[in-house]
Structure 1
Amino acid sequence: MINNVVLVGRLTREVDLRYTQSGIAVANFTVACDRNFRNSQGETETDFISCVMWRKSAENFAKFTRKGSLVGIEGSIQTRNYENQQGQRVYVTEVLANNFSLLEPKSVTESRPQSNNNSYGNNAYQGNNFGSSNQNQDPFASQANQDPFASNDNSSPFSAGGFGNDNPFASGNNDQNQSSNNDGSSINIADDDLPF
């Protein structure tokens, strides 16, 4: 199954960075993405997509972005549900972001005024009863002890997904392959070797 999301848009508010009781950083934010077509009035419609990011990525994202920052987000769709304080079942669909790109110069981001509602530096995640003693009300209860990005080796994007560090397309020494393919020289391929 494929569950892959790539978004490019602007942050609609300051990143809400909080910490679980066990000290794990979690960032919540919304990205505004324009659709690729115009409606009957000639206006571009915009979707506002909720995202969540965990651990060091969340801290870095909150540190280097502000409301209005142009960002690229890569991740997957996740759904979860929890019971709120009124006893109602709440269903949430969001993007679980595992990678981000800052798509504008640092000077542009720094020129934006920083909003007062930025939660960067808060010591506890208090929204939606996160970390409460009642585990049934914890919207992230199934995720609190799981880290979808856990890895002993952060150099491989596949290591977090249980694929290990094996690259089925690698052949031998990566440094040697990179130097021979990236030096600008042409590759000698016979016409009989081409699939078309």
Structure 2
Amino acid sequence: MRKFSGKEFDDLVDFFDRMACSSWLVKVHEELLKETGTWEGKSVLDVGCGTGRLLLRGADSTTKIYGVDISEGMVNRAAELAEREPLLDNPVFKTADAEKLPFSENKFDIVLSTCVVFLLPDPDPALKEMYRVLKPGGLLALVNPSEILNVEMAHKLAEQWQLEKEEENALKQWGKVTEKRLSFNDEDLESLLNDHRFKQIRQKTYLENISLLSFGVK
């Protein structure tokens, strides 16, 4: 399975930003934020941050936020959006590969990664890096499409939810990409996280069970 390059995403910044603002993905973000608890006074890294919408939703004035993405275009957009939030404390966005995070060990209280792990031909190097940069006791939070998401399911839900055209297209695209890449069930993710020494693993499906939220503690 081929690995994506940053340049492939540079021309899709607007699409992914609209997707991050779509009603269905906002619900997933809100559920993830609820499950991760308060970010007050914490340092939070989003691996594959896209345009930074999740970080901006979860941060308050005491949160140190960091985002990395392989797409320079995504990182630039995230930095632009963060500039509109004057209360944020020096947010950091960098172009970087999930397999080589440009941070020291034991730096972050929370590491997030949404809709990234399932795209990787081999998720092990990225999970190893996420574990490395987490503080002892720090929380990993992942979102991936579940094993039931496909194009047919995306079409069905778009009709059921009566999505507007742009939101419908984004959901269908997510279903299409999922069919071509890895799709996980909770046993798959639990095994992966166990292999990388995460503890207190818990998981839940959400949004008609098409998204899988996975959590582990270093």
The verdict on a shared fold, with TM-score over 0.5 as the criterion, is no
Please say which structure displays the higher CA radius of gyration: 1
- TM-score of Structure 1 vs Structure 2, range by shorter chain: under 0.3
Structure-2-length-normalised TM-score:
0.22
Larger relative strand fraction: 1
Structure-1-length-normalised TM-score:
0.23
Larger relative helix fraction: 2
